[in-house]
A and B are shown apart, each in its own frame.
Chain A
Amino acid sequence: MTTSQERSVPKPVFTDAEAGAKVFPDSDRRLYNYFTPAKRKQSHYEDVTVEVQPDPRHYLSQGWLYGFSDGRGGYPLDWTVLKAWGSDRPEPERFPGSGGKGYDWPATGWHEFRDPNEEWELTFYRYNSNVVRQLNQNIDNARQSKAFEQWNRNWVRFVERNLGAWMHVDHGLGLYLYANAQRRAPTNMHNNAISVNSMHRIRAAQDLALYNLTLTEEIPDFDGSAHLEVWKSDPAWQGVREVAEQLTAIDDWCEAIFASNVVFEPLVGELFRSQLVQHAAPRNGDFVTPTVVGAAEHDFAERDLRYTRAMFELLTDDREFADHNKQILNQWLSTWTDRAITAARTLQPIWSQPDNKPPRFEDGLDAVKNRFAALVTELHLDVPKELAQ
């Protein structure tokens, strides 16, 4: 006769530890209560984002515990020259018997920012998975239907050279501007939105690189490495390259996001993607590339711009520092518009490369200038005179 030894497993126990099983103080207080929601009810996004990154101005009673070699810890407010209300108030002083209370929530205007896209991990992975799935399907369908055979010869050259060159912009900014900037902002709401922006850029760069790989496999004379030389030394691209590198060299995190999302993207990114590639491609037999480029365009020109607008609107409407911020933002507008327009004009020769021409460069530039001017005006800033170049 065989005997089986009883396995050692934890025994389920009925504990009745469900919500509502008893009534006692706090028994029905089932909302996070340490912040004030932006709207009437707190959102799921706020619950998982707000206040994860602390601030000694309200609850961090013992202060930051680890500092850089200069003794400063956490997220110093002067990592940008822009200010939100309350920025100039000193951190609450602590000493024996001081207690631990800081200023009332939110202590500074920085904590009022909410990402209108309400991005957190659930929304982020759903959205980006959908994008990459759709792109895969588009490209696979094109491959199966021999769509790439419809491309005329010069369009093949155009894509291998110019679309290829743009992937470097997305990659460089994604890593060295956005991923870098998400260490710098004083709240979790800012930094998470910037992280998401960073991944949009890195994904867009990889989308273009992998599309390039498919084209190398599908189009017999497609030179998958042509983009390297174009990015490195084609004179038409050196203006874009110089500004892209200059953007990654910005120290001030607000300037980095502003210069990239408010100036460079609308004036150069949209010009290249929407006014050139999207318009030229169908005329040259290509219905696939606009879907790849369009995914990135939606990210940068809609989603990422949406959080950027909310972020800077707060600063230009700030109850204490609106004028201070507007003055600096107008200076940045002036500086970066000049650089962006110069880069855009340097890129002009590629408009003549496709056999079937896109709308005129000047028309495209006018279109993006108009959108840019509207954006700047919405932010209560001055349309810079450099736009007239």
Chain B
Amino acid sequence: MSRQSVAKAHQKIQELSWEPQYHEPVSQYGTDYTFRKAQKKDPLKQVLRSYFPMEEEKDHRVYGAQDGAIRGNMFRQVQERWLEWQKLFLSIIPLPEISAARAMPLLFRTVPNPELHNGQAIQMIDEVRHSTIQQNLKRLYMTNYIDPAGFNNSLRNFQSDYCGTIGRQFAEGFITGDAITAASIYLTIVAETAFTNTLFVAMPAEAAANGDYLLPTVFHSVQSDESRHISNGYATLLMALSDESNHQLLERDLRYAWWNNHRVVDAAIGTFIEYGTKDRRKDRESYAEMWRRWIYDDYYRSYLLPLEKYGLVIPHDLIEEAWNQIWNKGYVHEVAQFFATGWLANYWRIDPMTDEDFEWFEFKYPGWYDKYGKWWENYNRLSMPNGHHPIVAENVDYVYPHRCWTCMVPCLVREDMVMDEVDGQVRTYCSEPCHWTDATAFRPTYQGRETPNMGQLIGHREWETLYHGWNWADVVSDMGFVRDDGKTLVAQPHLNLDPKKMWTLDHLRRMGPVQSPNVLLNEMTPEQRQAFHADYIKQGPAGRPAPADA
């Protein structure tokens, strides 16, 4: 920056905006919120003359570290268990990043404060930075890590896979529907302010413990931009709060955004941190401990609670319930178990848990072994092809779950499952808040109020529907998750790269057909459905069938 101070320069660039006199800018996105023009200050106070060199310097550090990692043979010390999960994470995350860029113009016409638009434009290009720098990191992994499969067809995989679909909400929720719901509440107030802490700080720390110091290098660089975006959201939130008529919508959107972020991000990042690590030191933080620190204390207590005095209705019940899910209901463990159950429909390898892992889980989550230990022993036993089916088709005391129509993570905490007929279709939901999101929140009226700009949940939200009646080998071929010999699967339920130990399409060919739980549910009579529901909510933990005498 030249001798002009940033504050003075920032003050000067406020002269750039002007009130249209002849034609109004096009208005393409609607909101049911109302904003009065208010002189809210741009919290970023960013001027491009200093911003560009700052980002360039951050880039120098990132790319310098990448060169160093390659020269220093970092991949000789990287845990394969960890890098395999990055095939999922790094296929997902560039889309949310670029979607955040695309989301910014949703706010231009709906938030009438030109000073904030400056910060939003800088956030836009920040997000282009994040998306491409993450694609580049994945490219580096593909080039230098022992097993490129899964990285090399990353974006096709992500868009065909049920885990990718879960993650895709974290992007699509930013760019459609009511402009404020999407680009402000869901994106900046909840996703960026609360959950990037676990995504971009807690998880990279775990990467470093697994020999990968490039993930922290890239993601801490990203997070240093995110902290500015949080200020963008805060300024918009304060403007929204100043109009009493917005409070009802803010309450709705915080409930939806909080719960959806919890279901999606905790499912994925919790699994990576707890089941993707080889670091089993007893004094390293578990995901639950990280969550308590980063989300409960830093976000909920330090950021959200002080906003109560401005009239923000905070979903205390859902925040406590999210903690309850993680700590008491085993949410992360249930998800990891499901991902491992469906390993064959994925594009990464999932390492079995060992005695050392069991000991750590039992220490961190007392009672873990009784719930999940036996199943993971079965996973280990069935990991190499030896005349049996993949675990999903073997009898291991696990009932294949139904999908949640809203968050698309299966209904794994069985007691919480809700069944309802919505839009002429019987749907299952993992929890009451997800049921409410579909049946009540994403509707053109809310509590008697017209909400014509609210978005819709669309798409083919149950993955199994597409493959109902298909042979598993055809499913995996259709998705393209096959290696270059035309038969070996990209996914494996172990880390052994000996071709003789790897599963192929031939092994899957012997399995029974895929059955869509939702198609089957809709074929049932009402009585059968009630019986199904009564049984389902008695199942678990760890997917166990309902007790016979219950």
From B52-60, B331-339, B389-397, B428-436, the one touching the partner chain is: B52-60
**Does chain B have a CB within 8 A of A4?**
no
- The residue on A at minimum CB distance from B462 is A62
Q: How far is the CA of A248 from the CA of B154 in the complex (A)?
A: 37
Which residues in chain A, 141-200, are within 8 Å of chain B measured between CB atoms?
167-168, 171-172, 174-176, 179-180, 182-184, 188, 191-192, 195-196, 198-199
**Does chain B have a CB within 8 A of A213?**
yes
Q: What are the residues of chain B within 8 A of A314 when measuring CB–CB?
A: none
Partner of B59, one of A17, A68, A122: A122
Q: What are the residues of chain B within 8 A of A60 when measuring CB–CB?
A: 159
Q: How far is the CA of A20 from the CA of B147 in the complex (A)?
A: 9
- The residue on A at minimum CB distance from B466 is A100
Given known A14-B77, A21-B146, contact A63–B53 (CB-CB < 8 A): no
- The residue on A at minimum CB distance from B283 is A8
Q: How far is the CA of A30 from the CA of B32 in the complex (A)?
A: 48
- Distance from B123 Cβ to chain A, minimum over Cβ atoms (Å): 10
Whether B4 and A214, one on each chain, are in contact in the complex, defined by CB atoms closer than 8 angstroms, is: yes
Whether B463 and A62, one on each chain, are in contact in the complex, defined by CB atoms closer than 8 angstroms, is: yes
Whether B48 and A128, one on each chain, are in contact in the complex, defined by CB atoms closer than 8 angstroms, is: yes
Q: Which of A15, A17, A68 has the most CB of B within 10 A?
A: A17
What mask results when residues 1 to 20 of chain A are scored 1 for a CB within 8 Å of chain B, else 0? Answer: 00000001010111111111
Q: How far is the CA of A132 from the CA of B102 in the complex (A)?
A: 26
Whether A15 and B80, one on each chain, are in contact in the complex, defined by CB atoms closer than 8 angstroms, is: yes
Partner of B73, one of A18, A171, A196, A248: A18
Q: How far is the CA of A214 from the CA of B132 in the complex (A)?
A: 35
**Does chain A have a CB within 8 A of B453?**
yes
- The residue on B at minimum CB distance from A51 is B155
Whether A10 and B124, one on each chain, are in contact in the complex, defined by CB atoms closer than 8 angstroms, is: no
Q: What are the residues of chain A within 8 A of B465 when measuring CB–CB?
A: 94-96
Q: What are the residues of chain A within 8 A of B488 when measuring CB–CB?
A: 24-26
Whether A59 and B155, one on each chain, are in contact in the complex, defined by CB atoms closer than 8 angstroms, is: yes
**Does chain B have a CB within 8 A of A220?**
no
What mask results when residues 146 to 176 of chain B are scored 1 for a CB within 8 Å of chain A, else 0? Answer: 1111001111100110000100110011011
Given known A30-B152, A67-B176, contact A183–B132 (CB-CB < 8 A): no
Q: What are the residues of chain A within 8 A of B132 when measuring CB–CB?
A: 48-49, 120-122, 192
Q: What are the residues of chain B within 8 A of A32 when measuring CB–CB?
A: 139, 142, 152-155
Q: What are the residues of chain A within 8 A of B131 when measuring CB–CB?
A: 48, 52
Partner of A67, one of B23, B153, B177, B208: B177
Whether A121 and B48, one on each chain, are in contact in the complex, defined by CB atoms closer than 8 angstroms, is: no
What mask results when residues 488 to 514 of chain B are scored 1 for a CB within 8 Å of chain A, else 0? Answer: 101000000111001000000000000
- The residue on B at minimum CB distance from A172 is B18
Which residues in chain B, 94-134, are within 8 Å of chain A measured between CB atoms?
94-95, 98, 101-106, 108, 117-118, 120-121, 124-125, 128-133
Q: What are the residues of chain A within 8 A of B519 when measuring CB–CB?
A: 96
Whether A67 and B456, one on each chain, are in contact in the complex, defined by CB atoms closer than 8 angstroms, is: yes
Q: What are the residues of chain A within 8 A of B8 when measuring CB–CB?
A: 213
Which residues in chain B, 351-383, are within 8 Å of chain A measured between CB atoms?
none
Whether B28 and A202, one on each chain, are in contact in the complex, defined by CB atoms closer than 8 angstroms, is: no
- Distance from B549 Cβ to chain A, minimum over Cβ atoms (Å): 36
Partner of A168, one of B16, B78, B94, B101: B16
Whether A25 and B484, one on each chain, are in contact in the complex, defined by CB atoms closer than 8 angstroms, is: yes
**Does chain B have a CB within 8 A of A352?**
no
- The residue on A at minimum CB distance from B32 is A69
Q: What are the residues of chain A within 8 A of B461 when measuring CB–CB?
A: 62, 65
Q: How far is the CA of A168 from the CA of B28 in the complex (A)?
A: 23
**Does chain A have a CB within 8 A of B311?**
no
From A239-247, A262-270, A381-389, the one touching the partner chain is: A239-247
**Does chain B have a CB within 8 A of A40?**
no
Q: What are the residues of chain B within 8 A of A26 when measuring CB–CB?
A: 147-149, 152, 483-484, 488, 490
Partner of B459, one of A28, A62, A131, A231: A62
**Does chain A have a CB within 8 A of B467?**
yes
Given known A17-B145, A27-B146, A59-B159, contact A97–B460 (CB-CB < 8 A): no
Whether A209 and B12, one on each chain, are in contact in the complex, defined by CB atoms closer than 8 angstroms, is: yes
- Distance from A146 Cβ to chain B, minimum over Cβ atoms (Å): 16
Given known A64-B458, A175-B108, A249-B24, contact A136–B283 (CB-CB < 8 A): no
Whether B117 and A175, one on each chain, are in contact in the complex, defined by CB atoms closer than 8 angstroms, is: yes
Given known A206-B47, A251-B28, contact A33–B144 (CB-CB < 8 A): no
Q: Which of A13, A49, A125 has the most CB of B within 10 A?
A: A125
Q: How far is the CA of A71 from the CA of B182 in the complex (A)?
A: 15
Given known A68-B176, A121-B132, contact A62–B55 (CB-CB < 8 A): no
**Does chain B have a CB within 8 A of A89?**
no
Q: Which of A63, A65, A231 has the most CB of B within 10 A?
A: A65
Q: How far is the CA of A182 from the CA of B125 in the complex (A)?
A: 11
Which residues in chain B, 1-48, are within 8 Å of chain A measured between CB atoms?
1-4, 8-9, 12-13, 15-18, 20-26, 28, 30, 47-48
Q: What are the residues of chain A within 8 A of B61 when measuring CB–CB?
A: none
- The residue on A at minimum CB distance from B278 is A13
Which residues in chain A, 56-91, are within 8 Å of chain B measured between CB atoms?
59-69, 71, 73-74
- Distance from B15 Cβ to chain A, minimum over Cβ atoms (Å): 6
Whether B94 and A199, one on each chain, are in contact in the complex, defined by CB atoms closer than 8 angstroms, is: no
Whether A24 and B502, one on each chain, are in contact in the complex, defined by CB atoms closer than 8 angstroms, is: yes
Whether B478 and A228, one on each chain, are in contact in the complex, defined by CB atoms closer than 8 angstroms, is: no
**Does chain B have a CB within 8 A of A47?**
yes
Partner of B444, one of A69, A101, A132: A69
**Does chain B have a CB within 8 A of A126?**
yes
- Distance from A290 Cβ to chain B, minimum over Cβ atoms (Å): 19
- The residue on B at minimum CB distance from A123 is B132
- Distance from A68 Cβ to chain B, minimum over Cβ atoms (Å): 5
Whether A15 and B77, one on each chain, are in contact in the complex, defined by CB atoms closer than 8 angstroms, is: yes
- The residue on A at minimum CB distance from B486 is A25
**Does chain B have a CB within 8 A of A37?**
no
Q: What are the residues of chain A within 8 A of B79 when measuring CB–CB?
A: 13, 15, 17
Whether B456 and A69, one on each chain, are in contact in the complex, defined by CB atoms closer than 8 angstroms, is: yes
Whether A248 and B211, one on each chain, are in contact in the complex, defined by CB atoms closer than 8 angstroms, is: no
Whether A54 and B9, one on each chain, are in contact in the complex, defined by CB atoms closer than 8 angstroms, is: no
**Does chain B have a CB within 8 A of A310?**
no
Q: How far is the CA of A241 from the CA of B23 in the complex (A)?
A: 10
What mask results when residues 204 to 224 of chain A are scored 1 for a CB within 8 Å of chain B, else 0? Answer: 011101101110000000001
Which residues in chain B, 271-314, are within 8 Å of chain A measured between CB atoms?
278-279, 281, 283-284
Partner of B160, one of A100, A196, A207: A100
- Distance from A373 Cβ to chain B, minimum over Cβ atoms (Å): 27
**Does chain B have a CB within 8 A of A124?**
yes
Whether A54 and B95, one on each chain, are in contact in the complex, defined by CB atoms closer than 8 angstroms, is: yes
Whether A132 and B49, one on each chain, are in contact in the complex, defined by CB atoms closer than 8 angstroms, is: yes
Besides A73-B172, A183-B103, A206-B47, 19 new A-B residue pairs in contact (Cβ under 8 A), listed by A number: A8-B284, A10-B209, A17-B77, A21-B146, A34-B155, A47-B135, A52-B131, A63-B460, A65-B458, A66-B459, A69-B454, A73-B458, A120-B128, A133-B53, A135-B49, A180-B108, A205-B16, A209-B15, A210-B49
Name the 5 nearest CB pairs between A and B, nearest first. A25-B483, A34-B156, A26-B149, A171-B16, A48-B135
Show 9 residue pairs from A and B whose CB-CB distance is below 8 angstroms, ordered by the A residue.
A24-B498, A33-B152, A59-B155, A69-B452, A122-B59, A129-B56, A183-B102, A210-B12, A210-B47
Interface residues of B, Cβ cutoff 8 Å to A: 1-4, 8-9, 12-13, 15-18, 20-26, 28, 30, 47-49, 52-53, 55-56, 59, 63, 73, 75-80, 83, 94-95, 98, 101-106, 108, 117-118, 120-121, 124-125, 128-133, 135-136, 139, 142-149, 152-156, 159-160, 165, 168-169, 172-173, 175-178, 182, 208-211, 278-279, 281, 283-284, 408, 444, 452-461, 463, 465-470, 474, 478-479, 483-485, 488, 490, 497-499, 502, 516, 519
